[in-house]
Chains A and B, each alone.
Chain A
């Protein structure tokens, strides 16, 4: 059996800047094996000489997988110094992604904050590619500034297939859209909580308020899903760093049904009452 601690060597095929501090990398194993990720799963990327960090998969349409990375620590700073053709290591994919089978024939409400749109992007691609299998689809997306919105050109294209609602905390002069936290966008949508599944990813404080709002609107905890960010060091349910109330986020998450989280005895800030 393959040693799951050893990364597979992979090449950076391409990259593009999304924002001043965020970049999307296309990565492909040099063995030409496919990394078969599902929307919402994550991989561990080893930047040789620096270390390893978990990243959610932000694109699985093509042969190379895509990872949208914010430059924030040692590993990501080192990753940003690499160029086309450079080698990294990849382990995974790991974890449980978005519950695709529960979404068919439902209305979909996606709520994202900042870099939190990255793990939702493969789901949005999946929905758009199978558009007839879903009812109304709304995306509520907020970023700190217009400049920090991810996938700007795609947002435009997505808006032809799904309803895209945007807001920023701090507008720039040319910004014509909404200003404020992502929950203000709820006034733009008309949803039936009983036939809608809500899926969210963003900073804990955002998810906290979004979850609260969803419950106010009458959403049951069964129809709310969240992707939790925790320190998934090994990715395999051993190192213990990602556990929440004893549950391994790397094995049983990162996507959880709100009801599962509600059953935890340890407080989870993302749904805190």
Chain B
């Protein structure tokens, strides 16, 4: 359907059993990542059996979507040295051409893709990210049961999301409403037509009601300003004494960085086998909380003070990202709050500084 060049993306309904059938079909031809149970955690991982996939779960996975698009450890290239020559093998060629489908992620992670794209596909294109990104289909799952640390409503990244996915599922009674977000998504519908029926006006109303209810759940647990509206206050309070207090707790462990869907800073390390004269350049996740993060050759460290490092992360999310890519880069998932061993809470920090 097309009216004056604007493609109208439609909505459909699918039953739970047809959804499992769809996932089964998808997993035959794609690497299917989905939320899985691992002890008391929900992890986003390769689904070996469709029956393991969690469709109704609370909150979000422990690690965000970035672990698939920018793996924690990734070989960029390998090389070997022979006499007076060096041969380089780009690992890009090895990134599987097989398609990736990521199922079941929440708005907070879907929103993160927009931010990752702005970092990895701008003046320079990161070819490793780009290749995975192009090969990836996103099937989101609207969150109806936010966790105690979720606050996506206040970062304006959820619980409702209207772009960034190929398909978005929302549980409507015994069905799932399927919103199409792209042509890739539409083509999944077309090639599995018999599993879907057209969405009813009532189902769209139910979705709107469910989203409202979820917002109320989030608001009940949080009394926060909108994070995209606190820029000026945070800028003004960069030198506030409160930072000393906040950072006196911080252990600089970097966990908040590693679980954050939009913390993308990385290091590139070297491995070399002197017997076979072969080496690897490996990209690994890094943390702005580590003292070594800003150390230059002369030994100078530009963020020696712990408060300067904790500020780096918070200001990156709420101030620097706005300057750099035009949007805040906190998606309100609350993972950093969950994992912090000393209970540092970005919500409290922002609430206090924005006052």
Which A residues are within 8 Å of any B CB, using their own CB?
A: 1, 3-7, 9, 46, 48-53, 70, 72-73, 76, 85-87, 89, 203-204, 229-231, 233-234, 236-241, 243-248, 251, 265-267, 269
Contacts and interface: CB of A to CB of B under 8 A. Distances in A.
A85 B84 contact: yes
Nearest to B124: A236
Nearest to A235: B124
Contacts of B235: 265
Given A49-B279, A87-B85, A240 B265 contact: yes
Contacts of B86: 9, 48, 87, 89
B190 to A, nearest CB: 32
B77 A5 contact: yes
A203 B266 CA distance: 26
Contacts of A231: 293-296
A3 B84 contact: no
Nearest to A85: B84
Interface of B: 76-77, 79, 81, 84-86, 88, 90, 92, 119-120, 122-128, 235, 238, 264-270, 272, 274, 277, 279, 281, 286, 288, 293-298, 300, 302, 308, 311-312, 315-316, 319-321, 323-324
A52 B268 CA distance: 9
9 contacts: A5-B128, A9-B86, A46-B281, A237-B119, A239-B266, A246-B319, A246-B321, A266-B238, A266-B311
Q: Please give me the 9 A-B residue pairs with the lowest Cβ-Cβ distance, nearest first.
A: A246-B320, A240-B265, A236-B124, A51-B270, A265-B238, A3-B127, A49-B272, A5-B76, A87-B86
A7 B268 CA distance: 14
Contacts of B321: 246
A49 B300 CA distance: 25
B315 to A, nearest CB: 7
Given A49-B274, A50-B272, A237-B119, 14 more contacts: A6-B88, A49-B279, A73-B297, A229-B298, A231-B294, A233-B268, A236-B126, A238-B126, A241-B265, A241-B294, A246-B324, A247-B320, A266-B315, A269-B302
A48 B80 CA distance: 8
Contacts of A269: 302
